[in-house]
Amino acid sequence: MSAWGTAAGAFVGTLVLTTVLRAASEFRLTRMDLPFLLGTAVTANRPRAKAIGYLMHFANGQMFAFVYYAVFVAIGHAGWWLGAVFGLVHGLFAGTALVNTLLPLVHPRMGSPLTSAPDVALLEPPGFLMRNYGPSTPLVTVLAHVAYGSIVGGFTTLNPD
């Protein structure tokens, strides 16, 4: 197993994940935009939010990949398929808890079920499985994370020698 492989896999996996979500958006399957959601936690300026959001998104990609790596090391095994399983779990966690429940509570511009007058949210909350961003969002998100996970898992097994 190679930590450098994990880092490279994280970069490529995040690139693929982002591309899948962006393509799904262009095909009107979802309004999910992870860099935008992350960036607006820092600024309300939309163009700036997207730029900052992409940096945060790729940093998150590295962070999650090394969580995968830690588990790979702990169980002594890594690979494309195992990475895909991790991605599946990661995607389900993102849809049910991470983005759905945790993000609205820490995001200063996102609504939550507790947001009340006179406050008003700039960003609508994602809802369970992020379905507020379109009924196909859960499927697209999980598939994108499966792709990310399998790439991270596969790159981790690459031997630099």
Partner 1 sequence: MTAIRAGGHVRLRDYAVIGDGRSAALVAADGSVDWLGLPDLDSPSLFAAVLDPARGGRFLLEPEEPCTVARRYLPGTNVLETTFTTGRGTARVTDALTLDGGGALGPMRELQRRLDGVAGTVPMRWSVQPRFGYGARRPRFTSRGGVPVVTAGADALAVRAWDAGEPRCDGGAISGRLDLCQGRRALLAMPFAHQEPLVLPTRAECDARLERTIAVWRGWAAERRFGGMWRDAVLRSALALKLLIFAPSGAIAAAATCSLPEDVGGERNWDYRFCWVRDSVFTLDALLRLGCSAEADAFFWWLMHATQLTHPRLRVLYRLDGGARAPERTLPLAGYRGSRPVRAGNAAGAQLQLDTYGELLQTGWLYAGATGRLDADIARRLAELADLVCTAWRRPDSGIWEVRSAPLHFTQSKMMCWIALDRAIDLSGRGLIPDRGAARWRTARDQVRDFVETRCFSADRRCYTRSADSPELDAAVLLGLLHGYAPPGDPRMRATVDAIGRELRHGPYVARYSGEDGLAGTEGAFLACSFWLAECLARTGRLGEAVALMDELVGLANDVGLYSEEIDPDTGAFLGNLPQGLSHLALISAACAIGSAAGEAGR
75 lies in the binding site for partner 1 (CB under 8 A): no
CB contact set of 99 (below 8 Å; sequence gap of 6+):
37, 126, 130
Question: CB-wise, 116 or 159, nearer to partner 1?
Answer: 116
- With tokens 């999910």, the residue in question is 32
Which position among 13, 111, 153, 154 is part of the footprint of partner 1 (CB under 8 A)?
Answer: 111
Which position among 89, 123, 139, 158 is part of the footprint of partner 1 (CB under 8 A)?
Answer: 123
Which position among 1, 42, 89, 121 is part of the footprint of partner 1 (CB under 8 A)?
Answer: 121
Nearest approach in angstroms of CB 27 to partner 1 is 10
The Cα 88–Cα 154 span in angstroms is 15
Stretch that binds partner 1, among 9-17, 57-65, 112-120, 146-154 (CB under 8 A): 112-120
**Contact string (CB under 8 A) for partner 1, positions 129-148, x = contact:** --xxxxx-------------
CB contact set of 43 (below 8 Å; sequence gap of 6+):
49, 52
Amino acid letter, residue 35: P
